[in-house]
Each structure stands twice: as structure tokens, then as C-alpha cells.
Structure 1
Amino acid sequence: MSSMLPSDKNNHKSPLPEPFRDLIKSMNEFFTDKPMRGFLQSIDDFFKSPFPAGTGFHVETLETGTEYIISAELPGVKKEQIQLNISGNYLTISVENQELETEENQISHVYRRKYVRQQASRTIALPHVINENLVRASYRDGLLQIRIPQEKGKLIDIEE
């Protein structure tokens, strides 16, 4: 049994056996070489975006009795990127992000240009036609808030 112990009693850490050393080396190469490195970079890019493309964003609608309050969470979005569109009884909130990324390396003479365009929208249906002249919207700290007054329709008396 003593023959299985390392001969150097001062060395507490024994070297990895040959098969494990090769396995660890292979795993390191797998994660640092292409195409895996590009795949991991694309995952990082995905989580850097303010909103995932095509999935929309969180919208909440509250009815107070006198108005509808629609709140949309848009962290990292600038006011200029938001567009509101009213058509009949539908309100559409659209957010569009366009960026041109350029990278120049004078040493290796590599030039890279990347055009990024992200778009998301949500449409909210209300039970009556929206009067766009009465709609108020504000945007502060990543929260868009839209106030739409509830309009009373004309009541019609029913004759006997």
C-alpha cells in the first residue's frame, strides 16, 4: 500500500495522470478555438442588447375608472427610439435601435463594420376608439407611461 503514495512527502499536490491532462487540454482548446469562441461571443452579444429581438417587452395596463394607464418597461432605450401609433382602438408601442459599429486596427489593417438593427413592438387593444388628441405620454428612467382617458359613450333611452 505504501507503494501507491507519492514518493515526495513534501509535495501535497500530485500531478494529474496523463489521460486527465490531455482531457483538460482538449477542453481548454475547445472553448478557446473557433467555432466555439464565436458561439460564446454571440451569447455575450445577445445578453448585451436592451431587449431581445422579436420577443417584445413588458407592458402593463391599468384601468382606473376615468382613464387607462399603460406602462411599458424599456430599460436602456432612448426616448428617440420609441414611437407610438394609434389606429382606431389599438395603440402600438414600437422601439427601434439602430447602431453602426466600426472597428479599425491600424497594426493588422483589419477594418470591420457591423450594422445592428433591433426592433420590438406591442399592440394594446382598448374597448373604444382612442381620441389621439387626449392621449398623454411620458418617459422617465426606462418607464414609458401612457394615459388614455376613458370616454363615455352616448346613452340612448329605450322606448316602450
Structure 2
Amino acid sequence: MASNRDKLPNRFDVDMTPLHDFMRQMDNFFNHSFKHMNSHFNLRPFWINVRETEKKVIVEAELPGYKRDQIELEIIGNQLRIGVEDNAIIEEKNNENAYLNKQQSFQKRERFVTLPFEIPKRETKATFREGMLKITIPKKQSERKYIDIN
């Protein structure tokens, strides 16, 4: 007499393709929706690149459309915070109909860069030209040690 266990399908006998297709469609739906929402509300973070040489760490941030006074740099121990703020006031007046429309928006974005050493404030230099922020952080002689992996 066959047991109930013999009546169950083997795990390799079940076709999971419809479930995988459904999951892929859901991922595409949410990815597309959030991309659309990010572009509508301009929620994209700004581009940042960090590279290291023997003597310094160079952080570059692409900030097109921003001015120097909209950028804030802050050193917090071994972290560098790059913040940008944008305020816009749009005012429309129509004197014929005594119509006034005023819109105001405020946007703040920030990125953090964490380094394996404390950032020296006095030696760190920053320049901003044509929408590109470049921060040069010197590396002090630290007691970094590398561990061999067996």
C-alpha cells in the first residue's frame, strides 16, 4: 500500500516559472514606479566618487546648478558630510485679474563619506569649479595593519 508521501510531488516536479515571472513583473513595476517618482520629485542623490592615492584621499561630487553658498562641508571625526540646499520662489502676477500665485520649494540633499582615519580639518582642502566639488584629504601616517588570510 502506498503512503501519502508517495502522492506528493517531488520538489523538482513543480514548475516555478509562473511564480518567477510574477516576481519579476512586480520588481519591474516597483522599480519603474520609484524611478518615475524620483524624477518627478527630483529625489536622486548627487553623484560622488572617492579615490585614494598613497598620500591623500580625493572626494569628488558632481553638483551642477549649485553655487558655492549652497554647499556645506562638515567634518565629524572620520566622516565627511557634503550637504546642498536649494530654495526657489516662483511668483506669478496678473494685474488685470488681480491674480497672484506664489510657490516656494526647499530641497536638501546630503551624502556622507566615511574614512578609516580621522580627517584633519586644517589640511583638508576643497575647490568648486563648474559644478564639480573636489575635496583633498591628506592621509597621515596611521597605524594601519593588514591581516593575512590563510
Q: Which TM bucket (shorter chain)?
A: 0.5 to 0.7
RMSD: 1.9
**Residue 66 (structure 2) aligns with:** 77
Match of 2:106 in 1: 117
> Where do 5+ consecutive residues of structure 2 fail to align?
1-35, 145-150
- Aligned equivalents of 2:88 and 2:134: distance in 1? 26
Q: What CA distance in whole angstroms lies between the structure 2 residues aligned with 1:112 and 1:96?
A: 23
- 2:87 paired with 1:87: no
2:53 maps to: 64
TM (normalized to structure 2)? Answer: 0.67
- Name 2:90's counterpart in structure 1: 101
TM-score norm. by structure 1 comes to 0.63
- Residue aligned with 1:152, SS: coil
Q: How far off is 1:83 after superposition?
A: 0.2
Matched, 1:134 2:107: no
SS state at 2:122 partner? helix
CA distance in 2, matches of 1:135, 1:153: 16
Cα distance in 1 for partners of 2:56, 2:141 equals 11
Deviations 1:59-106 (A, max 9, x none): 000101100000000011111100001000000000000122111111
Q: How does 1:10-21 map to 2 (within 5 A)?
A: none
Paired with 1:78 and 1:105, the residues of 2 have a C-alpha distance of 31
Aligned residues: 107
Flag the structure with larger Rg: 1
Deviation at 1:154? 5.5
Secondary structure, aligned partner of 2:58: strand
Structure 1 segments (4+ residues) deviating >4 Å: none
Instruction: Provide the residue aligned with 1:9 in structure 2.
Output: none
Moved more, 108-117 or 60-69: 108-117
Amino acid corresponding to residue 62 of structure 2 in structure 1: E
Q: Which structure 1 segments of 5+ residues have no match?
A: 1-42, 156-160
